[in-house]
Structure 1
Amino acid sequence: MKKLSLTLASFTVVFAAFFTVHANADQKIPVLSAQELVNHCKLPASPESRSYCIGYTTAIYDTYLATRHPQRAKSSICVKQPAPKRDEVIADYVQFITQTAPTLANDPAAGTFLSFLSMRFPCAKK
């Protein structure tokens, strides 16, 4: 009896997980656009928007640093020290999206921010 209960419980978990995964496979996950990020980063900003902007942009750059393998992928972003102030870089990104590349406004924010950083802080050619 105990084996049967355990087997039924296991089957139920697998069955539920299978249908949950397949039910959510068609679900579209919203991605923050460059324009939405710019809206959070524009000055003057509320304390909440400013915190969101700083947290999001910092997370993008930190993820780039943490996931890039230096032996397998060349760096595309090389920030020379002393680094510019964070507010200056964010203001430059806002200007980049609103004035230089407005066609990127609907693209994912993370990708446009990384592209901007690679243009703003290019690595020296070897």
Structure 2
Amino acid sequence: MKKVLILLAALVSFCGLAQAQEKVQVLSTQELVNVCKLPASPESRSFCIGYTTAIYDTYLATRHPQRAKPYICVKQPAPSRDEVIGEFVKFGQSNQQVSDKPAAGVFLGFLAGRFPCARK
């Protein structure tokens, strides 16, 4: 029984090491722009809307108002989702220096520039 436990522990350690060395593929800005460009297939449109909405929702859910001041402030009535995504596609196409950067960070930066919070 003791040998089995040692073998299992060694196997778990090896699996953890193999996973730690695995490179996690991150969606680039160019890849997101390509998926979000119109005309888009229903699958591309769904992915684009889901991905960009998840980025913004994560920003909202993880920002602690007492510890981190907001930097994205969408005024109501908000523009349509398609309008904002179209503006992001234009932004991504005209700023090639960010094409290889992670899409989530660039999208948040775009939103911060598009919907800045009022200075106090």
Query: Where on the TM-score scale, by shorter chain, does this alignment land: which range?
Result: over 0.9
Is 1:76 matched up with 2:93?
no
- What number of residue pairs does the alignment pair up? 120
**Residue number in structure 2 paired with 1:61:** 56
**1:27 CA drift (Å):** 1.7
Distance in 2, matches of 1:121 and 1:16, equals 50
Pair 1:43-2:38 in alignment: yes
Identity of aligned residues (%): 62
State the AA in 1 paired with 2:44.
S
Query: Could you say what the CA RMSD is over the residues aligned between the two structures, in angstroms?
Result: 1.2
* Structure 2: 5+ residue stretches without partners: none
Unaligned runs of 5+ in 1: none
Is 1:13–2:8 an aligned residue pair?
A: yes
Deviations 1:48-105 (A, max 9, x none): 0000000000000001111111111111100011111000000000000101x11101
TM-score (normalizing by structure 1) = 0.90
Aligned with residue 112 of structure 1, among 99, 106, 111: 106
Q: Distance in 1 between matches of 2:88 and 2:44?
A: 15
Indicate the structure (1 or 2) with the bigger Cα radius of gyration. Answer: 1
Matched with 1:121 is 115
